[in-house]
Structure 1
C-alpha cells in the first residue's frame, strides 16, 4: 500500500470519510491539471504561473518558527493550505490537534502522496477540512465540540502555510475564517458557567426517575410501533400554523401527527387529536398548555416527555391518567440500569425531538409545518391564539438578526436562539438521508436539507389510507419497576460518593493554592511545577470519572479553559511566571466548580 492509499484509508476510518471518497474518485477519474510537483517537493501553479515556495526548506522553516512563536503552549492550531504537507509534519509534535483547511483537491492529492499522515489522521491529531465540502458547518461543529477542544476555542486564529496562499487565496481564507468563527460562536454561545439551566435540568431528571419507571418504557414504543407507517406531520407553534389548521383537520386521519407542546392547544381546540405530544421544557410554564384537557379525547395519544421536563408538568399529566413516556437523552446521564428504556436525541428544542422520534419510528416522509423560526410580518413569534401570547418571544429580549427566507428570496427577522436551532436542524436533516424532510411551513426561515413543498401538495402526495389505531404499550410490572429503581439508587449513590470525593479534593486543593498565592514569596520553579502536577492529577481524576463529563458541567469546564486560554494568549516565555498565573486561574476555577458540585450533590440527595 502506497502513502496516498494509507492516508485515504485513515481518512475513511472516520475522521473525514467525504474527503476520502472525493480523493478516491479523483484518483480514479482525474489527473492533476493545475498543479505539479518537482523533485525538490515544490509545487507549480499553472494558473498563476508561479511556484508555491521561493525556497522550500527556507520558507517552511520560517513559517514553522512564526506559527510556534504565536501559539506557545497552544493545544491546537488552524492553518490554511496543505501545500506539500511538510510544514504539517514538522508541527505535529507541538499540538494535540492540527486543523488544515484547503480548497484544492489536487493539493490534498499531492500532499498526501508525499507525507505519511495516516497515524495522525486516524487518531484525530491532524484534521483535513475540505472548504468546498457541502456539510462543512456540520463537520466543524462536531470537531470544535470535542471534549479537549471546546474549552480553548477563544484561542482560534487562522495561520497560513506559506506566503503563496495569502497572495492567491485571500478571499477563500476570509470566507473560511467567517465560517469557523460562526461555528465557534455556535458551540460556546450556551456555555455560560453561571447559567443554572444544565443543573436545573439534571435536578428535574433526578426527580422524574420514579415517574419514568412507573410509565411506558420508550423502548417498548419503538419495538411495537417502528415501521408501522411511512408518512407523518410534525406540527410546531410558529405564526404560520393557524392558516394550515383547516387542511390539517381534513387530512388528520391520513397522517401520524407529532405535536410540539406549544401547538397542542390549537389542535385540541379544533378537534385535531395528535398521536404524539412532546415536551422538553425544564420550566413550569407548559402547565398552561395542558391544564384543561381530559383523558376521554386523548385515549390514543402518547405524551412523550424529555428527561428534563419539569416535574410539575410530568406530574400533572400523570395525575390526569394520560399515557406518558419519559425519554432519556442520548449520550447523557447514561445509567446502565436504564438502558432497556432506550435513548433518543432530544436536542434543545421540542421540534428537534419530534423529528428524532419520527426517525426512530422509521418514518420515510416527514412533513414540517409551523416551523417558522422567525417573526412574521406583524412581529409575532407564535400563532395568534398561542397560550403564552402570540408575541411571547418578544418578551425574552433575545438578540435578533436576519436570515434567508422560506423560498430562498429575501430575508426574515429571527433571533439567535432560533438561528442556532435552525443550524442544528440542518445538521440533523443532513445526517439522516434515510428520510425525506418536506418543509410545508410556507413562511419563516429557510431550512437547508429540507425540501420546500406546500402543505396542500404534501397532503395530496403523502396521504395514507385511514391510519390504523395502535395499542398503547404496557407499563412495567410494579415489582420490576421497584427492582430497577433500587439499582438506579445504588448507581446514584456511587455518583454521589464520587462527587463528595471531588468536593473534598477540590476544597483541599483550593485552600492550598490560596495559601501559595497569598505567600507573596518568589516561589521557585521546581515548587510551582510540583503544585502544577497536583493540579494535573486532580484534572485526571475528573476526566477519569464520566459523571463529570455528561454535559451537565460543560459550561464550568469551558470557564476553566477560557481562563487558561487567557494565560496562553499572553505568550509568557518565562516558565515560572506562566505556572504562577496558571495556578491563580485554576484556583479561581475551583471556587466555581465547588459551587456547582454542591448543587449537583443536593439534587442527588433529594432522591437518595
Structure 2
C-alpha cells in the first residue's frame, strides 16, 4: 500500500469518510491536470503558470514560525491550504488538533502522496476539510462541539499555508472563514453559560417525572405504529399557513398530520383534527392554545410532550391521551427508561415533529407553515395566532437576511430562526432515508429539502387512506411505581456526586484564594504543583456526568473563555502565565459552585 492509499484509508476509517470517497472517485475517473509536483516538492499551478512556493523550505519555515508566534499554547490551529503538506507535518507536535481547509481535490491528492499522515488522520489530530463539501456545516458543528474544542472556540483564527493561497484563493478563504464563524457562534449560543434555559428544562423534567411514568410510554407508540404509513404532513405556525388550510382540510384523511401546538387553533377552527399535537415549551402559555376546545372532538389524537414541557401544561393534559418523551441526551439516557423511549426533541417544536415522523418510519414528510422568516407584512405567525401574529417581532431578537424559499432573493429572519434552520438542515441531511418536501411556499429556504408546492404534494402522495389507530395502553400502577423507585436511586447517586464535587470545589477554591492572597512571587515549581492539583480536579469533573451533562456544559465554555483571554496574550514567562491561569480558575470555581448548588436544589425536589 502506497502513502496515498494509506492516508485515504485513514481518512475513511477515521475523521472524514466523505472526503475519502471523493478522493477515491477522483482517482478512478480523473487525473491531476491543474497541479503538478516537482522533485523539490514544489507545486506548479498550470492555470496561473506559477509555482506555489518560491523557495520551498524557506517559505515553509517562515509561515511555520509566523503561525507558532501567534498561537503560543493554542490547543488547535486552522490553516487554509494543504500545499505540499510539509508545513502541516512541521506543526503536528505543537497542537492537539490541526484543521486544514482546502478547495482543490488535486492538492489533497498531491499532498497525501508525499507524507504519511495516516496516524494523525485516524486519531483526529489532523482534520482535512473540503470546503466544497455539501454537508460542511454538519462536519464543522460536530468538530467544534467535541470535548477538547468547544471551550476554546474564541481562539479561532484562519492562517494560510503560504502567500500563494492569499493571492489566488482569497475569495475561498473569506467564504470558509464566514462559514466557520457561523458554526462557532451557533455552538457558543447553544452552550451560553449565562442562559437559564437548560436549568429550567431540568427543573421541569424533575417535576414531570411522576406524571411521565403514568402517561402512555412513548416507546409503545413507536412499537405499535412504526411503518404503518408512508406519507405525513408537519404543520407549523408560520404566516404562510393560512393559505394552505383549504388543501389541508380536503386531504386530511389521506395524510397523518403532525401539528405544532401553536398551529392547532387554526386547524381546529377549520375542522382539521391532527393525529399528533406536540409541545416542548418551558412556559405555561401553550395552555391558551387549548382552553376552548371540545376534547371529544379530538377523537384519538395523541399529545406528545417533551420532558421539558412546563408542568402546568402537563397537568392540563393529564386526563387525555398524552405521552412524555425523554430527550436523546446523556442525562436522560442513563435513566435507562427504554420502555418510555427517547427522541431528539431539538429546541423548537417543529424539530420535534420531524424526529417523531422519522421515528415512526415515514418516508415522505411534507412541511407547511415552516417560514422561519417574517412575511412581507412583518408578521411572524398566521393572522389568528393566539399570542399575536407579530409575536416574534416584540421579542427584539437581532434580525438578519437569508436566502428566500425558491432560491431567489432574500427574506428577513432573526437569529433564533436562523439557528433553528441550520439545525433542521443538519437533521434533514443526516436522515436521507426520508424525503423532506418543503411545501411552505414562503419564508426561508431550507437546505436538504425538496421545494414543491403543497398542491403538487397532495396530488403526488394522497394515495393512502389514513386508518385511525388505537391508543397504546399506559403502564400498570405497580410497574410505574417500580420505575419511579429506579429513577430515584439513580438520582440519589447523582446527588452524591454533586455533593462530593461541591465539597472538592470549595476546598480547592479556598486553597487557591489563600495562595493568591499571599501576593508573593511564587516559584515555578510551586505553581506547577498547583496546576497539577487543578488538573486532577478537572480530570475528576470530566470523568463524572457533570462535564457531559448539557444542563451544566455551558460552564465549561465559560472556563475556556477565561483561559483563552490569557492564552491570547501570548505570555512568554511561565510563572506569570500560570499565576494568571490559576486566578482565572479560582474565579471560575465560583460559577461552578453556584450552578451545582442550583442543580442540587432542583434535584432534591424529586425526593
Question: Above 0.5 in TM-score?
Answer: yes
What is the CA–CA distance in structure 1 between the aligned matches of 2:293 and 2:512, rounded to whole Å? Answer: 57
Of residues 139-148 and 572-581 in structure 1, the stretch that sits farther from structure 2 once superposed is 139-148
Contact 2:220 2:339 in 1 (8 A): no
> Secondary structure of the equivalent of 2:128?
strand
> Secondary structure of the equivalent of 1:340?
coil
Give yes or no for the alignment of 1:326 onto 2:324.
yes
> Secondary structure of the equivalent of 2:292?
coil
1:346 corresponding residue in structure 2: 345
- Deviation at 1:339? 2.9
TM-score, length basis structure 2: 0.98
- Deviation at 1:590? 0.7
2:592 corresponding residue in structure 1: 593
1:371 corresponding residue in structure 2: 370
Contact 1:255 1:464 in 2 (8 A): no
1:176 corresponding residue in structure 2: 176
Contact 1:330 1:344 in 2 (8 A): yes
Matches within 5 A, 1:61-76: 61-76=61-76
Contact 2:547 2:556 in 1 (8 A): no
Give yes or no for the alignment of 1:27 onto 2:45.
no
Matches within 5 A, 1:568-583: 568-583=567-582
> Secondary structure of the equivalent of 1:99?
strand
Contact 1:259 1:274 in 2 (8 A): yes
Matches within 5 A, 1:319-468: 321-333=319-331, 334-468=333-467
1:194 corresponding residue in structure 2: 194
Contact 2:14 2:121 in 1 (8 A): no
Contact 1:210 1:485 in 2 (8 A): yes
Residues 1:125 and 1:450: Cα distance change in structure 2 (over 3 Å) = same
Contact 1:337 1:484 in 2 (8 A): no
> Secondary structure of the equivalent of 1:362?
coil
Contact 1:495 1:547 in 2 (8 A): no
What is the CA–CA distance in structure 2 between the aligned matches of 1:533 and 1:111, rounded to whole Å? Answer: 39
Q: Give per-residue Cα distances to partners, 1:276-326, cap 9 Å, x unaligned.
A: 0101111111121122334312231111111111111111100xx111111
Task: In structure 1, list runs of 5 or more residues that go unmatched.
Answer: none
> Secondary structure of the equivalent of 1:366?
strand
What is the CA–CA distance in structure 2 between the aligned matches of 1:2 and 1:219, rounded to whole Å? Answer: 50
1:119 corresponding residue in structure 2: 119
What is the CA–CA distance in structure 2 between the aligned matches of 1:331 and 1:542, rounded to whole Å? Answer: 18
2:495 corresponding residue in structure 1: 496
2:269 corresponding residue in structure 1: 269
What is the CA–CA distance in structure 2 between the aligned matches of 1:562 and 1:35, rounded to whole Å? Answer: 41
Contact 2:279 2:306 in 1 (8 A): yes
- Deviation at 1:14? 4.5
1:316 corresponding residue in structure 2: 316
Of residues 460-469 and 155-164 in structure 1, the stretch that sits farther from structure 2 once superposed is 460-469
1:541 corresponding residue in structure 2: 540
What is the CA–CA distance in structure 2 between the aligned matches of 1:424 and 1:375, rounded to whole Å? Answer: 19
> Secondary structure of the equivalent of 2:392?
helix
Q: Give per-residue Cα distances to partners, 1:66-107, cap 9 Å, x unaligned.
A: 111110110100001111112112211211111000111011
> Secondary structure of the equivalent of 2:303?
strand
Matches within 5 A, 1:53-202: 53-202=53-202
- Deviation at 1:172? 1.4
Task: In structure 2, list runs of 5 or more residues that go unmatched.
Answer: none
Of residues 590-599 and 62-71 in structure 1, the stretch that sits farther from structure 2 once superposed is 62-71
- Deviation at 1:500? 0.6
What is the CA–CA distance in structure 2 between the aligned matches of 1:499 and 1:439, rounded to whole Å? Answer: 45
Give yes or no for the alignment of 1:232 onto 2:232.
yes
2:286 corresponding residue in structure 1: 286
Contact 1:335 1:488 in 2 (8 A): no
> Secondary structure of the equivalent of 2:521?
coil
Contact 1:299 1:322 in 2 (8 A): no
Contact 2:546 2:552 in 1 (8 A): no
> Secondary structure of the equivalent of 1:339?
coil
Contact 1:430 1:449 in 2 (8 A): yes
What is the CA–CA distance in structure 2 between the aligned matches of 1:335 and 1:465, rounded to whole Å? Answer: 39
- Deviation at 1:62? 1.9
- Deviation at 1:515? 1.5
What is the CA–CA distance in structure 2 between the aligned matches of 1:125 and 1:341, rounded to whole Å? Answer: 39
Give yes or no for the alignment of 1:512 onto 2:511.
yes
Contact 1:193 1:555 in 2 (8 A): yes
1:562 corresponding residue in structure 2: 561
What is the CA–CA distance in structure 1 between the aligned matches of 2:449 and 2:487, rounded to whole Å? Answer: 40
What is the CA–CA distance in structure 1 between the aligned matches of 2:456 and 2:12, rounded to whole Å? Answer: 40
Contact 1:12 1:21 in 2 (8 A): yes
> Secondary structure of the equivalent of 1:338?
coil
Contact 1:231 1:464 in 2 (8 A): no
Q: Give per-residue Cα distances to partners, 1:333-380, cap 9 Å, x unaligned.
A: 222431332211111100011011111111111110011111111111
> Secondary structure of the equivalent of 1:234?
strand
What is the CA–CA distance in structure 2 between the aligned matches of 1:336 and 1:392, rounded to whole Å? Answer: 37
- Deviation at 1:138? 1.6
> Secondary structure of the equivalent of 1:251?
helix
What is the CA–CA distance in structure 2 between the aligned matches of 1:496 and 1:294, rounded to whole Å? Answer: 43
- Deviation at 1:331? 2.6
- Deviation at 1:443? 1.2
| Matched positions, count | 606
Of residues 562-571 and 538-547 in structure 1, the stretch that sits farther from structure 2 once superposed is 538-547
> Secondary structure of the equivalent of 2:510?
helix
Q: Give per-residue Cα distances to partners, 1:249-283, cap 9 Å, x unaligned.
A: 11111100000011011112222110001011111
- Deviation at 1:176? 1.1
Contact 2:255 2:466 in 1 (8 A): yes
